[in-house]
Amino acid sequence: MLLAINANNTNVKFGVIDGDRIVGEWRQHTSAMRTADEHAVWLLQLMEIEGIDPKVIDSAIIASVVPQATFNLRRLCTRYFSTEPLVLGEPNVTYGVQIKGAGAGADRICNTVGASILFPETPLIVVDFGTATTFDVVDEEGSYCGGVIAPGINLSIEALVNATALLPRIVVEKPKKVIGTDTVACMHSGVFWGYVGLIDGIVARIRAEFGRPMKVISTGGLAPVFDGATDVIEQIVPDLTVRGLIEIYRRSTR
């Protein structure tokens, strides 16, 4: 049984995997100050609710883009699950794909590996709706070729609210009309359709530059919000990152 941990800037996601099956999944707000003991109190209770015995966990892997949080996540694995985790970025980890771009984060590498497993021999654009909205280009060999990083939709809302005196904080949702008739409706339209325009425009430019047909998939917490709003996204794969993390563990422990 594998404990897979994916620490992003907004949330830390924990998954318990039995073979190819994800038997438990939970998320927690990311805090670099949260200790291993605090992680354990929260996680062990959730595992008990799902009927998962912590003693069956015999391996772990961590992908983290928050270096300050990695120490306590590693300590969680060693102290409470008696296993030394693999940590992406360390020399003993095998990705099994070529990373052609410099500075790719752990989450983008996981997305690349997951996408190449699910859609082999097909050039891909992976749109990840997280703290940042990222576009990752994966070629037909499964290699990471680079991509685009844009501000995430919630970051854009926070910037809009914090930089203005009267605009309220809103929740991302698809508006019924483009032309808003009050402040909140105008904000919903600008944020939502602005991001649809961002998606359509960047995907079109990547495809033109890449020069070959490309399949577009999406993942991340806000991916369902844009389902059906743009024709360029062909499929949502909610567990893409964890699927990549599972495959990286297998390749590193063969």
How buried is 99 (Cβ within 10 angstroms: 0-12 exposed, 13-18 middle, 19+ buried)? Answer: middle
Handedness of CA 201, 133, 101, 231 (dihedral sign): negative
Residue 239 is among the residues annotated as catalytic for this protein: no
Q: What pTM does this model have?
A: 0.91
Question: Other C-beta atoms within 10 Å of 199: how many?
Answer: 23
For residue 14, the SS3 value is: strand
- Residue 180 is predicted with a pLDDT of 95
- Residue 84 is predicted with a pLDDT of 97
Contact (Cβ atoms closer than 8 angstroms) between residue 133 and residue 198: yes
- Residue 254 is predicted with a pLDDT of 87
Contact (Cβ atoms closer than 8 angstroms) between residue 199 and residue 76: no
Using the structure block, give the residue that is written with the tokens 């680079």.
146
How buried is 64 (Cβ within 10 angstroms: 0-12 exposed, 13-18 middle, 19+ buried)? Answer: buried
- Residue 101 is predicted with a pLDDT of 75
The CA distance from 92 to 86, in Å, is 8
66-99: per-residue pLDDT in tens? Answer: 999 999 999 999 999 999 999 999 999 999 999 9
168-199: per-residue pLDDT in tens? Answer: 999 999 998 999 999 999 999 999 999 999 99
SS (H, E, C) 173-200: CCCCCCCCCCHHHHHHHHHHHHHHHHHH
The CA distance from 199 to 135, in Å, is 9
- Residue 175 is predicted with a pLDDT of 93
Range with the lowest mean pLDDT among 14-23, 25-34, 98-107, 167-176?
98-107
Q: Which of 37, 58, 107, 200 is the catalytic position?
A: 107
Q: Which long-range contacts (CB under 8 A, 24 or more apart) does 35-44 make?
A: 35/72, 35/75, 36/72, 36/73, 36/75, 36/76, 36/79, 36/80, 39/72, 39/73, 39/76, 40/76, 40/79, 40/80, 43/14, 43/76, 43/80, 44/80
